[in-house]
Structure 1
Amino acid sequence: MEILLFGAFVALAVLGLPIAVVLGLSSAIGLILGTDVPLTVIAQRMFTAASSFPLMAIPFFMIAGALMEGGGISKRLIHLANTLMGATTGGLALVAILTCMFFAAISGSGPATVAAIGSIMIPAMVKAGYDMAFSSAIMAAAGSIGIIIPPSIPMVTYGVVGGVSIGSMFLAGVIPGIIYGGALMAVAYYISKKRGYKGTGEFSFKELLIAFKDAFWALLMPVIILGGIYGGIFTPTEAACVAVFYGLFVGLFIYRELNFNNLGRLLVNSAVSTSIVMFIIATASVFGWIMASEQIPDRVAQMFMDFSDNPMVILLLINILLLIVGCFMETNAIIIILAPIFLPLVTQMGIDPIHFGIIMVVNTAIGQVTPPLGVNLFVACGLSKITIESISKAVIPFLLAMIVAILIITYVPALVMYLPNLLMK
């Protein structure tokens, strides 16, 4: 069964089929050739996986992000970040990263963050004399923060699969997101200083207050969402619904850049993005169920234990595997397939499931920037019209910073667990 399942998976992936189709077809091939289980089980499993109440948060967070993006949020967050960091060496590069950190608290999606901020920042950086490949690489790398700082769609997926609190996952992602963004800023500053990229203008406290006032309603959204969850007012799924109504209200009546002409387009785009993610989740759940039925997770865990019983070594091996898999698979598929394999192992070794969830999410965030799949790279390439080869070379220093960040997050669990332990008692 293992040979059939993974052989079909590799063969179909090499043919270039979408990952959801690859997972579904390889599962069907495994069942047809390796068992006498009827294929109706596939449909049943897909329906069961997609009908989970917590997963309803995914389409609502996607709609909320689209509404806030279309409602004029991006340029206001960029203006705020520019008043904070613009005067520094490499100011626009730092502004791009900081804005992505702000926007991550709204979108929950890496590619959406790249598209929303990159469409403004890449032309601005190039106009200021920044190299096109460098500018695009910054946006691709910074966009991956979109799934680390809450709300995060992959965190919702992990919470459902791993049976852990989604609210705790959201809290645990805040400090790692700051560490991750800080590492990218350090690299951007170093390269900018080396290449002579100057800041823009001078810092003005008055301008900062004006920018903060203009972006206030955008910054209030994550406060409402996270404050409501941790205050016990609503669940993460209900928070996603609140986010949609808030985004609609702000876009229509406060910023007034959202209208009924573009509202339909935003909803259609959100529906398409949601269907892709949910289809991946549904087919990945079938693939994962077959693996569990064949006790593949137990054998993989035993293989790791045979190699070493040191938690630090095990985590290093898992990180390496996740980084490799992230080059070829989509974020939610990785979590659904691999979390059930490794979660019992790391829990047995005394590693907190929430800490491990953040490790998985950050690794998959790095996967959004690693070719050949690297979805953020392709989004940034589409915005800047450069080749994937050019951006892949330019993103290497940022990938090294990301790896340093994941090592810190992995081996200093107190940083990850500080907020959950403080606020979820």
Structure 2
Amino acid sequence: MSTVISTSPLPIVSRLLKPIEFASALLLVVIVMLLLVGVVARYVFSLPIVWIDEVVSLSFLWLAMLGTAIAMHRNEHLRLTLFLEMMPERVRGFVHALALVAIAAFLLALVHPAIIYAEDEWFVKTPALDLPNTFRVSALAFGILAMLGVLVVYASHTVTKANLLAASIVVAVAACACWLGSDFLTSLGLYNIMIFLVVLVALCLVAGVPIAFCFGLGALSYLGFTTTVPLMVVIGRMDEGMSSLILVSVPIFVLLGCVLDATGMGKAIVDFLASLLGHIKAGMSYVLLGSLFIVSGISGSKVSDMATIAPALFPEMKRRGHKPKEMIALLATGAAMADTVPPSIVLIVLGSVAGVSIAGLFQSGVVIAAVLLVALALLARWKARHEIMENVRRASWSVIGRALMIAAPALVLPFLIRSAVGGGVATATEVSTIAVLYAMIIGQVLYGGIGWRKVYSMLVETAALSGAILLILGTASAMAWAITQSGAVQSLSQFLTTLPGGVMGFMIVTILVFLILGCLLEGLPAILILAPIMFPIAKKLGIHDIHYSMVVVTAMNIGLMMPPIGVGFYVACRIGNTSPDEVMGAIWPYIAALLVGLIAIAAVPWFSTVAL
């Protein structure tokens, strides 16, 4: 999982990005402070401030687009590297150059439409402040130009001129051939969906093009070569896909995960569970799973969860005879299990895209994670039957009490988040800001605090990761729109609703589709592309939207951890510093346990709806 940009810093780009990094950090602070002021004004003084949402919306899109440029430079745009790494060195160099040129072509094609889009929005005024919408949407043009600048500097420093020239010729010839043959392509009708939105996107993925740009290239090529739709539509769909106020909680929960890691609040939870359960067989496996369950309810990020828990538990697990490959397998599948625990970024995005109650998703997600937790815990206990327990002593009640006292402020946070959203007291976005404030204060007072330099680096890191996530949402929104407008959705809907087996047949197809797409596309893109297609069909078949959401998210999370392609699997191996080849054989029993849990969730709607 990486980007088109090398991890070796380019001094010129680093200096040029300093103002962008500062602006992104400032924007994130402004967003958090404004949302907090809005919550206090509304709930404490009963005086809602109507202009806050407009300023937050403006700041949010700028934060996202500035973050995309930072992510480009920091190696944080998600891409599939498995196939690229299998290629011979000479071929890899050319394919890498081809990926760079393809991304540059996509960005160049969007520059003019983005500028025109910003000019047209001058006549659209915001309701409260009466500001032209141009102030907000001009962020798209700026971000596209900033990414293009970073890309050009990087390519000029790292790619040979021969490879760059050859790749440019290939891309230019392909584009000219499509343009000259546009009449023929138009006559192909729905086959163009297969050519541009399946084959082209797949080729880009194999070449190592970041996922966001794969979707963008597919949508842009399809609309540009086979329809008369203006390319400005792509910009408009990107704007819509990235600008929902519900998504403001994404960067704030990412920031919360950074605070959790920096203050040691996550480690305090791990230490408490270890003192409570560490003396029994499979105890440390239970601690690992329980820690993921609880910590996931604070950070909302699988990567943050795994990075917090692995260093705290792995040394003791090794001492007790756990093999590294087994520990990584449990870590990866445990992270997949815990991803429905609120505040799950995937659930927030799904609620936004599919129109499902986020409060309902949060309530149901805890129960679904508990079902999967039981399946993994039973397997862990069976595997621990030969665990070495010599010299392992039960912790005294005084030690447990002391660990509980230290962990208590951190343990309160996930329950605060779940109860506030589930009870309708506050939205996911509002709760995220309250949680950040709580974590910052508690971390400063009880857990040693965070220096200003560290706070700044966390803000910039949050902007970069959020930009990478939100760009995927934007380009996937454009791709989903292109698929919908083609008429393919109606044909697919008719096919799926007539599948043999009724509801169960549709559920089986859903599980298979999201397992595969979870492997290939990571979580959010799969949801964005398929949710508008699959959810109306599920509703027509009488499937509860919360139940269907839990099946979709669980299948997708399992796919994310399935070797040899699942991105999350490689992230877990990297965090545990273990070879993927070694872990690959060990993870399948844990994947099987999750699949058993998934079948139970799909077959028994009660698991998904009991908490509603």
**TM-score in terms of structure 2 length:** 0.66
Partner of 2:372: 180
Q: RMSD of the TM alignment (CA)?
A: 1.6
Q: Letter of the 2:359 partner, please give it.
A: G
Tell me if structure 2 keeps the 8 A contact 1:329–1:373: no
Q: CA deviation at 1:203?
A: 5.2
Tell me the distance in 1 between the aligned counterparts of 2:215 and 2:311.
33
Partner of 1:124: 316
Q: CA deviation at 1:142?
A: 1.1
State the Cα deviation string for residues 158-206 of structure 1 (Å, max 9, x = none).
101111111111001011111111211111111111x434384215444
Partner of 1:40: 232
Partner of 1:165: 357
Q: CA deviation at 1:78?
A: 0.9
Tell me the distance in 2 between the aligned counterparts of 1:232 and 1:344.
26
Tell me the distance in 2 between the aligned counterparts of 1:70 and 1:181.
27
Question: Structure 1: any 5+ residue segments left out of the alignment?
Answer: 421-425
State the Cα deviation string for residues 201-255 of structure 1 (Å, max 9, x = none).
2154443332222111111112222222234332111111111111111111221
Q: Letter of the 1:393 partner, please give it.
A: G
Tell me if structure 2 keeps the 8 A contact 1:111–1:375: no
Q: CA deviation at 1:311?
A: 0.5
Tell me the distance in 2 between the aligned counterparts of 1:106 and 1:70.
13
Partner of 2:513: 321
Task: Look up the SS of the partner of 1:198 in the other structure.
Answer: coil
Tell me the distance in 2 between the aligned counterparts of 1:272 and 1:124.
34
Q: Identify which range, 376-385 or 85-94, moves more after superposition.
A: 376-385
Q: Identify which range, 199-208 or 302-311, moves more after superposition.
A: 199-208
Partner of 2:250: 58
Tell me the distance in 1 between the aligned counterparts of 2:320 and 2:209.
40
Q: Letter of the 1:133 partner, please give it.
A: K
Tell me if structure 2 keeps the 8 A contact 1:32–1:39: yes
Partner of 1:145: 337
Aligned pair in 2 of structure 1 residues 274, 372: CA closer, same or farther (>3 Å)? farther
Specify which of 268, 278, 282 is matched with residue 76 of structure 1. Answer: 268
Q: Identify which range, 73-82 or 197-206, moves more after superposition.
A: 197-206
Tell me the distance in 1 between the aligned counterparts of 2:565 and 2:342.
24
Tell me the distance in 1 between the aligned counterparts of 2:316 and 2:468.
32
Partner of 1:233: 425
Larger Rg computed on CA atoms: 2
Tell me the distance in 1 between the aligned counterparts of 2:330 and 2:383.
11
Tell me the distance in 2 between the aligned counterparts of 1:298 and 1:174.
34
Task: Look up the SS of the partner of 1:220 in the other structure.
Answer: helix
Tell me if structure 2 keeps the 8 A contact 1:23–1:287: yes
Tell me if structure 2 keeps the 8 A contact 1:141–1:376: no
Specify which of 416, 419, 424 is matched with residue 224 of structure 1. Answer: 416
Specify which of 365, 370, 374 is matched with residue 557 of structure 2. Answer: 365
Tell me the distance in 2 between the aligned counterparts of 1:40 and 1:368.
33
1:242 aligns with 2:434: yes
Q: Identify which range, 29-38 or 371-380, moves more after superposition.
A: 371-380
Tell me the distance in 1 between the aligned counterparts of 2:345 and 2:209.
23
Identity %: 27
How many residues get paired? 419
1:380 aligns with 2:572: yes
Q: Letter of the 2:387 partner, please give it.
A: G
Tell me the distance in 1 between the aligned counterparts of 2:402 and 2:490.
57
Q: Letter of the 1:296 partner, please give it.
A: A
Q: Letter of the 1:37 partner, please give it.
A: V
1:105 aligns with 2:302: no
Specify which of 339, 344, 356 is matched with residue 548 of structure 2. Answer: 356
Q: Letter of the 2:600 partner, please give it.
A: I
State the Cα deviation string for residues 14-51 of structure 1 (Å, max 9, x = none).
21221111111111111122111121111111011111
Q: CA deviation at 1:380?
A: 2.3
**TM-score in terms of structure 1 length:** 0.94
Tell me the distance in 2 between the aligned counterparts of 1:69 and 1:396.
29
Partner of 2:459: 267
Tell me if structure 2 keeps the 8 A contact 1:366–1:399: yes
Tell me if structure 2 keeps the 8 A contact 1:115–1:379: no
1:262-411 matches, within 5 Å, as 262-308=454-500, 310-411=502-603
Q: Letter of the 2:226 partner, please give it.
A: G
Tell me if structure 2 keeps the 8 A contact 1:377–1:391: no
Tell me the distance in 1 between the aligned counterparts of 2:246 and 2:388.
45
State the Cα deviation string for residues 256-276 of structure 1 (Å, max 9, x = none).
242223222222222222111
Partner of 2:450: 258
Tell me the distance in 1 between the aligned counterparts of 2:468 and 2:388.
39
Q: CA deviation at 1:309?
A: 5.2
Q: Letter of the 1:43 partner, please give it.
A: I
State the Cα deviation string for residues 365-391 of structure 1 (Å, max 9, x = none).
112211244233222222332221111
Tell me if structure 2 keeps the 8 A contact 1:104–1:145: no
Q: CA deviation at 1:133?
A: 0.8
Partner of 2:407: 215
Tell me the distance in 1 between the aligned counterparts of 2:512 and 2:263.
40
Question: Structure 2: any 5+ residue segments left out of the alignment?
Answer: 1-191
Tell me the distance in 2 between the aligned counterparts of 1:297 and 1:120.
47
Tell me the distance in 1 between the aligned counterparts of 2:291 and 2:549.
25
Tell me if structure 2 keeps the 8 A contact 1:126–1:132: yes
Q: CA deviation at 1:124?
A: 3.0
Task: Look up the SS of the partner of 2:610 in the other structure.
Answer: helix
- Hey, which bits of structure 1, 4+ residues long, moved more than 4 A? none
Tell me the distance in 2 between the aligned counterparts of 1:390 and 1:292.
42
Tell me if structure 2 keeps the 8 A contact 1:366–1:402: yes
Tell me if structure 2 keeps the 8 A contact 1:111–1:144: no
Partner of 1:419: 611
Q: Letter of the 2:455 partner, please give it.
A: L
